[in-house]
Amino acid sequence: MWTPWPTFSYAWLRDGVVIAGQTGVTYRVQAGDAGSRISVTVTGTKTGYATKSLTSAELQVPAASTPTPTPAPTTPAPTPTATPGTPTPTPTPTATTPVPTPEPTAPAEDAPFSAAATPTIAGTARVGFTLSARAGVWTPWPTFSYQWTRDGVAIDGQTAVTYRVQEGDQGTTIAVIVTGTKTGYVTQAIPSDGLLVPLPESTPEPTVPTPDPTPAPDVAFETVGTPSITGLGRVDYTLNAKSGTWSPWPSFSYAWLRDGVAIPDQTGASYRVVASDVGTSISVAVTGTKTGYVTQTVTSPGVAVVATPVTPPPPAPSVPFEATTTPVIQGSPVAGSPLRVETPAWTPEATAYAYAWARDGVTVLGATDATYTVRRADAGSRITVTVTGTRSGYKATSVTSEPTAVVVDALDVPPAEPAPSPDDQPFTDTPSPTITGDASVGSTLTAETPAWTPRPPRSPTCGSATASSCPAAPRRPTCRLRVMPDRRSP
């Protein structure tokens, strides 16, 4: 078993000597082989592996022998029968004549070829050149086999019509034995004249070498793709090589070119355009390689590299972008109450707005909506809002509202009077109340309520007093107030 599996050639040997023309996988033993030892040399060849030859064990062909005549069978004499009263007769011997065995009929002999030319060799006997065997004219035309020899000794595995001269052939004579075989004719082997392969130091003959008539061992690709380049020829842009369609598919290598000259160290499938490429043409040479095929290089069309155009900034708009009104805050500046801004108008009209609420000019973090709920922390401050309008192609502009009144805490705001019912009648006489007492911190003030017309019903409470502690009618009720410090003072 060979691994990997190679291509085999055969050479049959008689007593260790190559039998001319016997290069098939089978061999028919001839009469001349009698008494000899037959063996076969098998040579395995495969691209990328060293050629190797192995010879089988020998088989002994028996020597020819003369057939021995076989004697004819004899008929025995009859045995006499004894008759009573008479003596037993004695048998008389009878002579027998042997019948000779006929000689085997010899097969008809093969006829020789009527014409068998001496073969010739075409080509130059130099290392690396290929020699070709020419069989000449034979009559009738047979099937040919070939065996190349070096100084008269068969070269293992060299049984093709061509032979490539090797370095080991220098200083030797190369010849070829051409064997013609045809049914009914005597197989004939004729050697050619030899060609001397000169040594390296010898002076070559001043002749023009004969072109090699045989094709190169490698074959051309069935299909060779046309490479192309994708990308823009601008500085800092990347160009990419496309190899095209090849059959069979090879391995690729790349070489980028600037005006047809290879760019040093640029052998990848892509190339980044540099400033020195401006004004030149960039192309790529794609080379396809595959074992058993001729290496081929194809260059793509070039891509012109131009300077990257500078885009000027858009011209400033001729119409100014500004607000035509001031934002207005709606709502009461009381802790817990919502404020809302009326967005002003812009010329030309803004497409988006942004809001920023501020307390005494300091931006309130997170307050970026069109509404704002007043906080207790805002008490004693004034609230403003800044509205910013934006529009594509225009510079954003901002406008700030007028400040609100001072924000008060909800605890400092007196409760609102209940809304009157539509059926209620107005009082006809409502004199103003009066306050008695010393208006100093810690003292008590008393509200004096005059008589109203008509008289309102008695209140269940009077200030902080309960109903039972209020003066009985018709005395006017009084309420006492305690003066407290102003909590809004710093």
pLDDT digits (tens, 9 = 90+) for 94-127: 444 454 555 544 455 788 988 888 999 999 999 9
Report the distance separating Cα 77 and Cα 96, nearest Å: 11
148 and 28 together in one domain: yes
How many folded domains does the chain comprise? 3
402 and 329 together in one domain: yes
397 and 297 together in one domain: no
Confidence (pLDDT) at 299: 94
395 and 247 together in one domain: no
**Which residues lie below 8 Å from residue 442, measured CB to CB, with a gap of 6+?**
483
Confidence (pLDDT) at 424: 59
The DSSP secondary structure of 18-51, one letter per residue, reads: EPTT--SS--PPPGGGTT-EEEEEEEEE-TTS--
Last residue of a domain, one of 252, 278, 304: 304
In a domain, 456, yes or no: no
300 and 329 together in one domain: no
CATH number of the CATH domain containing 145: 2.60.40.2700
186 and 240 together in one domain: no
Report the distance separating Cα 152 and Cα 167, nearest Å: 17
Report the distance separating Cα 69 and Cα 195, nearest Å: 56
328 and 298 together in one domain: no
**Which residues lie below 8 Å from residue 92, measured CB to CB, with a gap of 6+?**
77
Residue 138 gets the label, from left (phi > 0), alpha (psi -120 to 50) or beta, of: beta
Instruction: For residue 389, give both structure tokens.
Output: 């309008």
Last residue of a domain, one of 277, 304, 331: 304
In a domain, 182, yes or no: yes
State what percent of residues in the chain have pLDDT above 70. Answer: 72
239 and 286 together in one domain: yes
In a domain, 439, yes or no: no
Last residue of a domain, one of 370, 391, 411: 411
Report the distance separating Cα 9 and Cα 466, nearest Å: 133
In a domain, 450, yes or no: no
pLDDT along the chain (490 residues), means of 10: 82 90 88 89 87 89 65 50 49 48 56 89 92 90 94 93 93 94 92 91 59 66 91 94 92 95 94 94 95 93 86 60 88 92 89 94 93 92 94 90 89 58 62 77 75 61 44 48 50
331 and 266 together in one domain: no
pTM for the full model?
0.27
Instruction: For residue 431, give both structure tokens.
Output: 């004199």
Confidence (pLDDT) at 1: 67
* 3-state secondary structure at position 393: coil
The residue segments making up the domain with residue 2 are 1-61+111-203
In a domain, 82, yes or no: no
Confidence (pLDDT) at 96: 46
In a domain, 41, yes or no: yes
Confidence (pLDDT) at 241: 94
Confidence (pLDDT) at 66: 55
24 and 170 together in one domain: yes
In a domain, 212, yes or no: no
389 and 271 together in one domain: no
In a domain, 73, yes or no: no
Return the H-helix or E-strand segment holding 255.
strand 251-258
330 and 181 together in one domain: no
H-only helix segments in 276-339: none
Longest distance between any two alpha carbons in the chain, whole Å = 208
